[in-house]
Amino acid sequence: MMKLIEYLQGRSGTCLLLGFAIETICIIALVIFVLFLLANDRKNRMTALMLEQMQETFQLEGERYRIATELSQDIIFEYRIGEDKMVNTEKYRELFGGDPVVLKFTENCGKRQDKVHPDDWGIYLEYCRELREGKCIIETEFRAKNRLGEFIWCQAMGKTIYDEERKPLRVIGKIVNIDIQKKELEALEYKATRDPLTNVYNREVTIKKIEKFITGNKNNRHMMMFIDFDDFKLINDNYGHLIGDKILIYVIGKIKSVFSEGEIIGRIGGDEFAVFAGNIVDINEVLHKADTLRCAMETTYFDKGNAIPISGSIGIAIYPEDGLHYEQLMERADNALYRAKEQGKNNFMLYSPVI
């Protein structure tokens, strides 16, 4: 009996110990689970906070982008290649007066021909092609009509975005109104190439333009005229250089009226001018032009009651018979001019080897 009691007591102690151990394990597990839940909750709250911060950042960046595009004078655009859709900012409507969103942008490119300057139409077609093909970097300049119907200079720049397989997706870029800068540059270039008194080409530019024209048209005949006012030194001596300058301006206007815009007129020095006409048909055409010019220069300038008679003499050389470049042609035209003055001035003369 005693042995049984001892046995049961031993078993009971073991059970108690086992029960205590199980209870302890459960408590520990519960604590771990609670800590896990707390940690997970903290993580979720941190994740939610991070997502909220990211959303605020995205909203802030979007607002910054919106404000930047509104303040910018440039037109920001996105061309979606797969849709052939052009999306511009509202600045497009302000500058050009059309809808900022253009469907079938490159497909209907030809319908915008009246909106692009005729001289720049080929450039604009190339611009549309580069957009459609997704060229990596796009940069070009062309003139387009603004909402007032005036042609203005624009600069278009874009960069293409590709997918992982290097397939072009869209082009992000901008269109900048560079009309003021372009016209200022053109004015500076004009000033740099012109004689300040008469507004015709200066000597250096005249030579370059004639040489360039000859280089590009070697197989045709061209005409060089060398013009000198008769007795212009006497006019300066008798009436002063100020009156002489006024007479130069007056007569050069008459010379311009004889020739078309495509012909080169330049001041070589003092009262000497050169006129170069390309692609002449025959000598009779040259002689007729020379006589028309002589008649235009034979005039009278009136100043403060003074009637000042004016006339000029002309020497003519023909490419390629008389010379193959500017210096040769000018030398032969100068020889012909000397002969014309010898024969009484107010005259013109074709170069001849017997001169």
Query: Which of 41-45, 256-260, 333-337 is the least confident region?
Result: 41-45
Burial of 167 (0-12, 13-18, 19+ CB in 10 A): exposed
164, pLDDT greater than 80: yes
Q: Please write the tens of the pLDDT for every residue from 114-124.
A: 999 999 999 99
Taking alpha carbons only, the member of 238, 253, 254 closest to residue 303 is 238
- Cα separation, 23 vs 29, whole angstroms: 10
- Percent of the chain past pLDDT 90, that is, above it, reads 69
Banded pLDDT at 5 (limits 50, 70, 90): very low
**pLDDT surpasses 50 at 49:** yes
Instruction: State mean pLDDT over 283-293.
Output: 92
DSSP string, 127-186: HHHHHHHT-SEEEEEEEEE-TTS-EEEEEEEEEEEE-TT--EEEEEEEEEE-HHHHHHHH
**For residue 12, what pLDDT band results from cuts at 50, 70 and 90?**
very low
According to the model, what pLDDT value does residue 11 have? 46
How many Cα atoms sit within 13 Å of 69 on the Cβ side?
A: 17
Q: Please, are residues 182 and 142 in contact by the beta-carbon 8 Å criterion?
A: no
pLDDT at 128: 96
User: What global pTM score does this model have?
Assistant: 0.60
Q: Which domains occur in the chain, in start order? A: 75-184 (3.30.450.20), 194-350 (3.30.70.270)
Asked if pLDDT for residue 152 goes beyond 80, the answer is: yes
Asked if residue 192 has pLDDT above 50, the reply is yes
Structure tokens at 351: 């170069």
**Average confidence score pLDDT of the chain:** 85
Sign of dihedral through CA atoms 316, 318, 323, 329? positive
Q: Say whether pLDDT at 107 is over 60.
A: yes
Q: How far is CA 29 from CA 25, 304, 321, 339, in A?
A: 6, 119, 112, 123
CA 267, CA 198: separation in Å to the nearest integer?
8
**What pLDDT is recorded for position 89?**
92
Q: For residue 30, what pLDDT is reported?
A: 63
Per-residue pLDDT, 13? 46
Q: Name the band, by pLDDT with cuts 50, 70 and 90, for residue 7.
A: very low
Integer Cα distance of 114 and 137 in angstroms: 27
Q: Is the pLDDT of residue 8 over 50?
A: no
Predicted local distance difference test score (pLDDT) of residue 25: 67
Element (H, E) at 58: helix 2-71
Which pLDDT tens digit goes with each residue over 53-106?
Answer: 666 665 555 555 455 555 557 999 999 999 999 999 999 999 999 899 999 999
